[in-house]
Amino acid sequence: MPLHLDIVTPEKMVFSDFVDNVYLPGADGELGVLPLHAGLVTALQPGELRYLRDDNVVTLAIGSGFAEITQTDVVVLTDMALGEAEIDIAQAEAAIQRAQEQLHGVDHSVDAEEVAFLQGIIARSTAAINFKRRHQV
């Protein structure tokens, strides 16, 4: 029985096809999904997503978001999903730098949402950089 994986970001549909298994960075640790998994909705933290398709393991760096798992489908909703080739370390570092500068300018007690948004950028850029470094070696 196949498992259908959808990876969606606000910009586009990143991936939509049948796979053999998926590993997700869940809020409570890494989570492996095989076909016929029990229904589950989980929050995701920035990290690494792996799926196996035609005996090839593909890994992507993803940002925070959440995933819906049913027996036949996995839907991953995240704010970032990048392959190794798409990650530019210099760019990611610049994004962290910018977010940190903005974070200093924001009043933390007033605009909690803005703070969370900027911290999200930092977390996902950091995840992207770690991912790239790990796969370069």
Partner 1 sequence: MANLRDIRRRIKSVKNTAQITRAMQLVAAAKMKKAQDQALGGRAYSRHLLQVLYDIRKNFAHETHPFLEQRPGQRELVLVISTDKGLCGAINTNLARKIVALTSPGADFVTVGRKLRAVCEKLGKKVVADFTVKDPVPFGETRPIASFIGRQFLARNYDKVSIAFTNFYNTLRQEPKVVTLLPLQGHRPDQEQAFELIGGGFSAAAHQSDPDRDFEFEPNPGDVLGAILPLYLNYEVFQAHLEARASEHSARMVAMKSATDNANKFIKELTLEYNKLRQGAITAELLEITTAMKAVE
CA distance 2 to 19: 7
Question: What's the one-letter identity of residue 102?
Answer: Q
Please say whether the beta carbons of 38 and 74 come within 8 A.
no
- Interface residue with partner 1 among 21, 42, 59, 126 (CB under 8 A) is 42
Cβ-based nearer residue to partner 1, 31 or 52: 31
Binding status of residue 77 toward partner 1 by CB under 8 A? yes
Please work out, in degrees rounded to the nearest 5, the angle formed at the alpha carbon of residue 32 by the alpha carbons of 73 and 124.
90
For residues 81 and 87, which CB has a smaller minimum distance to partner 1 in the complex? 81
Contact positions with partner 1 (CB under 8 A) in 17-36 = 26-28, 31
Indicate whether 6 belongs to the interface with partner 1 (CB under 8 A): yes
The C-alpha atoms of residue 74 and residue 68 are separated, in whole angstroms, by: 6
Binding mask 87-106 for partner 1 (x = CB under 8 A): --------------------
